């Protein structure tokens, strides 16, 4: 009311001169009604939200099936929660409803060829954006108040003929194209009544054929040609319009979805109407308006008094066609309907009642380039300009009109309606009621750094290689693996090192289940063996190591073969080192190396240890300085012993307390 009084106080002086302000003042009541209704519904929505929270608590005590029925939405019809159990529908609905379906899975609403292609690319990390859901068309019906804003005043909640300035019923078809934009096709039927409580003094202009119908009324008025009249009109109209609707409020930053959105739209289309006057009584005689009190000359008369007196006088039958398009010169166009293009703007609110139905409140203001919607287009006179009325018409003087009014007529509709969403198993609700930010928030919530690190480093078989890099995800516990997580089989004998009792078997030999090589008895023909002049290979070692490298297995296999072929053959084995480190260290390291070679031959090939003469000389003959020279010196030499040569086959360690080299 404060807003209304402010507008009335500041703009009342501009009503006769400012076209836009003039129309705005005429529509103040309808917008006040819309604002009041919006506040009521907003309060209802707030109370409903409180009720929802209470209902959510009650849902915890009910079964999942009944809960789904009560909160049925797109998240129930389609996939609405992740497979891992996080962010479940039940926990989300404890906070707010309705719920959103998921965009990062295959859904029925993405089954179309184009949408499926985009969704598959998105799921395969080949495209950034998920496919937009296939969403429902909408059909709406509505009804409400319609009001014509012209040269005749509206009768709003005054009197009983009618109680409101007009009514409207309509239907619409809506297709959303995005989360913020949709198009709407409308049809509306309207009836509007207007009544002036101030008398008109344009009788002279009427006689001068400015309005044929009213001219006849004045000419035939037995009360005289200079009688005052009170304008009224009844307009019947149809319009067909096309709306471009922009929706706000569905982008929610602190809630999964909303139940209320706001719509703003621009509209254009066509409007056709016909207008009638009520100036004759039941007998066809003109009303005698001289008995109606004049609000301009009598300060004790109110607007309600004038309207009540007019309603008492009139019979409510609008029998006289108003000045319009067509007029008496062209009476057949569109069956006496005038057609005009129309355009306008509007706003409204949509309340989601269920997955299928919305409740819509909206107001629209429509403009036409026409000043005859209420049948009046001439301005009231100003000053003392008058014309003489013929004596046959009563004589006297009549004021002269200033000409056509400077503003066109318009009309407004404020309606309440239901919109039915044609949803199904492959269509979501309208995208204008979905929250496109939901998926972004979902991904942000899912990107828990600690969880991501845990997932990145997850190692189900505890082999030290994360699952993402592990090519053998079920490696036996304790098995050594390569960088790809595959259990090592160092000698490639088919038995992994974990179970291989001989992890470095001679290549090519058959092995037992435990990976031990089965050494065949070598029985080469004597004609190819010279047991008198046997040449044997040397075995080389890495620095500070005494393990036998796999590439020397073949060398030792040939030594064993010759020992088997030549039963009298005895071998002198001498361990050596480079000159680095101390003398004691090198003596002990050379002993370690020669014993490693002897044990390999005795354990793997069954050679008797007594056939070896074991020597270790450390760095005694080492002179090399380069890495290659030193590599050649780190070895065990195997030579044929001279006939009659003797020596210890298992000498004790020279420096058992010195840790010299390693096998790893």
Q: What pLDDT, on the 0 to 100 scale, is given for residue 522?
A: 53
Preceding amide of 610 cis, omega within 30: no
Angle (CA) 573 607 507, round 5°:
90
Give the Cβ contact number of residue 419 at 10 Å: 22
* pLDDT surpasses 70 at 179: yes
pLDDT above 80 for 326: no
399-to-221, 381, 386 alpha-carbon distances in Å: 18, 6, 4
For strands 397-399 and 386-388, give the pairing.
Answer: antiparallel
Question: CA 227 to CA 289: how far, in whole Å?
Answer: 8
- The CB-side HSE value for 539 (13 A sphere, CA atoms) comes to 30
* Torsion 621-625-630-632 (CA) sign: negative
Whether 254 is in a domain gets the answer no
Do 210 and 130 reside in the same domain of the chain?
no
Contact 598, 614 (CB under 8 A): yes
Q: Cα separation of 273 and 454, whole Å?
A: 72
Inside any domain, residue 183: no
Percent helix / strand / coil, the chain, rounded to 5: 30, 25, 50
User: Which pLDDT belongs to residue 553?
Assistant: 85
More confident residue, 214 or 87: 87
End-to-end CA distance of the chain: 94
Same domain? 658 vs 533: yes
Do 395 and 532 fall into the same domain? no
Copy the structure tokens of residue 21. 């302000």
Query: Does residue 656 belong to any structural domain of this protein?
Result: yes
H-run or E-run covering 621: none
In Å, how far are 230, 454, 567, 607, 650 from 595, measured between CA atoms?
A: 132, 48, 21, 14, 8
Instruction: Measure the CA–CA gap between 27 and 15, rounded to whole angstroms.
Output: 13
The rounded distance, in Å, linking the Cα atoms of 30 and 174 is: 25
Nearest to 202 by CA among 211, 192, 189, 190: 211
pLDDT, position 335: 67
Beta carbons within 10 angstroms of residue 659's beta carbon: 11
- From 203, 134, 643, 16, select the one nearest 429 (Cα to Cα): 134
For the beta carbon of residue 483, count every other beta carbon within 10 angstroms.
Answer: 9
Q: Is the pLDDT of residue 382 over 60?
A: yes
Which of 137-151, 216-230, 233-247 has the weakest average pLDDT? Answer: 216-230
pLDDT for 289 equals 83
| One domain for residues 130 and 201 | no
Q: Does any domain span residue 448?
A: no
C-alpha–C-alpha distance, residues 3 and 611, integer Å = 119
CATH code for the domain of 531: 3.30.1330.60
**Quick one: pLDDT at residue 84?**
67
**pLDDT reported for residue 253:** 87
The answer to whether 109 and 132 are in contact (CB under 8 A) is: no
Tokens linked to 409: 């007529």
> What are the φ/ψ torsions at residue 131 (nearest 5 degrees)?
-70, 145
Q: Is residue 360 part of a domain?
A: no
pLDDT at 393: 55
Q: In this model, does residue 189 exceed pLDDT 70?
A: yes
Average pLDDT over residues 223-230: 60
What are the Cα distances from residue 568, in Å, to 389, 585, 611, 638, 640?
Answer: 161, 35, 8, 16, 11
Written as six digits, the tokens of 120 are 């598959």
Q: Are 267 and 174 in contact (CB under 8 A)?
A: no
Enclosing domain of residue 205: 197-230+279-317+377-407
Instruction: Tell me if 269 sits within 8 A of 243, measured CB to CB.
Output: no
In this structure, the number of other CB atoms found within 10 A of the CB of residue 240 comes to 14
With bands split at pLDDT 50, 70 and 90, how would you rate the model's confidence at 400? low
Checking if the pLDDT of 205 tops 50, the result is no
Of 32-36, 472-476, 525-529, the range with the lowest mean pLDDT is 525-529
Decide if pLDDT at 357 tops 90. Answer: yes
Confidence at 219, pLDDT banded by 50, 70, 90: very low
Same domain, 662 and 579: yes
337-345 average pLDDT score: 92
Per residue in 46-56, pLDDT (tens digit) is 445 555 545 54
Q: Which among 157-171, 298-312, 610-624 has the top mean pLDDT?
A: 610-624
Rounded Cα gap, residues 379 and 336, in angstroms: 25
Rounded to whole angstroms, the Cα distance separating 559 from 561 reads: 5
List Cα–Cα distances, 290 to 62, 286, 384, in angstroms: 74, 12, 22
Using the 3D structure, point to which of 386, 407, 428 is the last residue of a domain: 407
Any idea which of 320-324, 365-369, 504-508 has the lowest mean pLDDT?
504-508
More confident site: 640 or 527:
640
Give the per-residue pLDDT at 126.
87
For tokens 């600690």, what's the residue? 450
DSSP output for 265-297:
EEEEEEEEEEEEE--B-TTSPBP-GGGS--TTT
| Domain-embedded: residue 465 | no
213-223 as b/e, with b when 16 or more CB fall inside 10 Å? bbbbbbeebee
Please tell me which residue, 200 or 226, carries the higher pLDDT value.
200
Q: What are the angstrom distances between the C-alpha of 556 and each of 72, 523, 604?
A: 79, 17, 10
SS3 state of residue 184: strand
Tokens of 520: 């065949």
CA 321 distance to own-chain centroid: 56
Residue 104 has pLDDT above 70, yes or no: yes
Q: Answer yes or no: do 551 and 645 share one domain.
A: yes
Closest CA relative to residue 360, chosen from 416, 426, 435, 297: 416
Mean pLDDT, rounded, of the chain: 79
| Domain membership flag for residue 589 | yes
Residue from 244, 439, 218 nearest 343 by CA: 244
593: how many CB neighbours lie within 10 A of its CB? Answer: 28
25-30 mean pLDDT: 48
User: Across residues 425-437, what is the average pLDDT?
Assistant: 88
What pLDDT is recorded for position 329?
A: 38
How would residue 11 be classed by pLDDT, with cut points 50, 70 and 90?
very low
pLDDT in tens, 271-297: 999 998 888 888 888 888 888 888 888
Contact in structure between 503 and 490 (CB atoms under 8 Å):
yes
pLDDT class of 144 with cuts at 50, 70, 90 = very high
Using one digit for the tens of pLDDT, what is the confidence trace for 468-500? 888 888 889 888 989 898 988 887 888 888 888
Which of 82, 109, 134 is at the close of a domain? 134
Percent of the chain with pLDDT over 90: 29
Check: CB of residue 79 under 8 Å from CB of residue 102.
yes
In total, how many domains does the chain have?
3
The answer to whether residue 146 scores a pLDDT higher than 70 is yes
Listing DSSP states for 236-253 in one string gives: EEEEEEEEEEEEES---S
pLDDT at residue 470 in the model: 87
Q: Is the pLDDT of residue 507 over 90?
A: no
Residue 151 lies in a domain: no
Residue 171 has pLDDT above 90, yes or no: yes
Examine the pLDDT at 185 and tell me if it is beyond 60. yes
How large is the average pLDDT for residues 634-661?
A: 92
On whether both 37 and 109 belong to a single domain, the answer is yes
Residue 264, helix vs strand vs coil? strand
């Amino acid at each position: 009311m404060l807003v209304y009084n402010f507008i009335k106080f500041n703009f009342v002086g501009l009503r006769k001169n400012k076209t836009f302000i003039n129309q705005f003042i005429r529509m103040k009541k309808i917008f006040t009604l819309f604002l009041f209704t919006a506040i009521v519904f907003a309060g209802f929505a707030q109370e409903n939200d409180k009720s929802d929270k209470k209902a959510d608590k009650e849902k915890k005590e009910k079964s999942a099936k009944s809960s789904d029925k009560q909160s049925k939405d797109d998240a129930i019809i389609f996939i609405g929660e992740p497979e891992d159990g996080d962010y479940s529908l039940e926990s989300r609905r404890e906070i707010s409803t309705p719920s959103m379906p998921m965009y990062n899975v295959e859904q029925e609403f993405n089954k179309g060829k184009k949408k499926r292609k985009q969704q598959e690319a998105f799921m395969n990390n080949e495209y950034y954006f998920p496919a937009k859901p296939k969403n429902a068309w909408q059909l709406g019906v509505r009804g409400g108040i319609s009001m014509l804003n012209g040269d005749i005043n509206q009768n709003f909640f005054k009197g009983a003929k009618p109680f409101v300035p007009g009514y409207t019923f309509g239907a619409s078809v809506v297709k959303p194209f995005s989360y913020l934009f949709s198009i709407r096709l409308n049809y509306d039927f309207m009836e509007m009544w207007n009544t002036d409580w101030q008398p008109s003094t344009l009788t002279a202009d009427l006689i001068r054929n400015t309005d044929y119908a009213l001219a006849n009324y004045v000419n035939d008025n037995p009360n005289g040609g200079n009688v005052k009249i009170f304008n009224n009109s009844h307009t019947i109209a149809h319009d067909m319009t096309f709306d471009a609707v922009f929706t706000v409020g569905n982008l929610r930053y602190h809630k999964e979805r909303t139940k209320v959105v706001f719509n703003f739209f621009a509209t254009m289309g066509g409007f056709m109407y016909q207008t009638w006057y009520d100036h004759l009584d039941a007998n066809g005689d003109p009303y005698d308006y001289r008995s109606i009190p004049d609000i301009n000359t009598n300060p004790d008369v109110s607007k309600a008094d004038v309207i009540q007196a007019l309603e008492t006088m009139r019979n409510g039958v609008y029998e006289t066609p108003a000045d319009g398009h067509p007029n008496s010169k062209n009476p057949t166009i569109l069956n006496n309907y005038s057609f005009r293009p129309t355009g306008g703007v509007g706003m409204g609110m949509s309340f989601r009642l269920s997955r299928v139905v919305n409740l819509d409140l909206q107001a629209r203001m429509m403009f036409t380039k026409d000043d005859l919607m209420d049948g009046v287009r001439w301005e009231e006179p100003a000053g003392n300009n008058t014309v003489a009325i013929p004596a046959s018409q009563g004589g006297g003087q009549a004021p002269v009109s200033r000409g056509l009014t400077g503003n066109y007529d318009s009309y407004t509709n404020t309606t309440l309606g239901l919109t039915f969403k044609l949803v199904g198993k492959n269509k979501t609700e309208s995208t204008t009621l979905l929250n496109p930010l939901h998926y972004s928030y979902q991904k942000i919530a899912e990107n828990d750094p600690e969880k991501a690190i845990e997932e990145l480093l997850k190692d189900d078989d505890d082999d030290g290689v994360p699952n993402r890099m592990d090519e053998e995800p079920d490696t036996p516990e304790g098995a050594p693996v390569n960088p790809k997580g595959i259990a090592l089989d160092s000698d490639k004998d088919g038995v992994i090192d974990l179970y291989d009792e001989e992890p470095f078997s001679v290549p090519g030999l058959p092995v037992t289940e435990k990976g031990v090589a089965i050494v065949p008895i070598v029985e080469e023909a004597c004609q190819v063996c010279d047991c008198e002049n046997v040449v044997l290979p040397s075995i080389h070692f890495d620095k500070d190591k005494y393990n036998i490298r796999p590439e020397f297995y073949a060398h030792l296999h040939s030594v064993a073969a010759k020992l088997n072929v030549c039963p009298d053959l005895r071998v002198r084995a001498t361990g050596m080192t480079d000159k680095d480190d101390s003398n004691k260290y090198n003596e002990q390291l050379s002993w370690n190396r020669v014993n490693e070679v002897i044990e390999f031959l005795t354990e793997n090939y069954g050679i008797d240890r007594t056939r070896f003469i074991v020597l270790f000389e450390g760095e005694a003959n080492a002179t090399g300085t380069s890495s290659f020279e030193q590599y050649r010196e780190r070895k065990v030499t195997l030579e044929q012993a001279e006939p009659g040569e003797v020596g210890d086959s298992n000498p004790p360690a020279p420096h058992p307390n010195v840790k010299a080299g390693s096998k790893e």
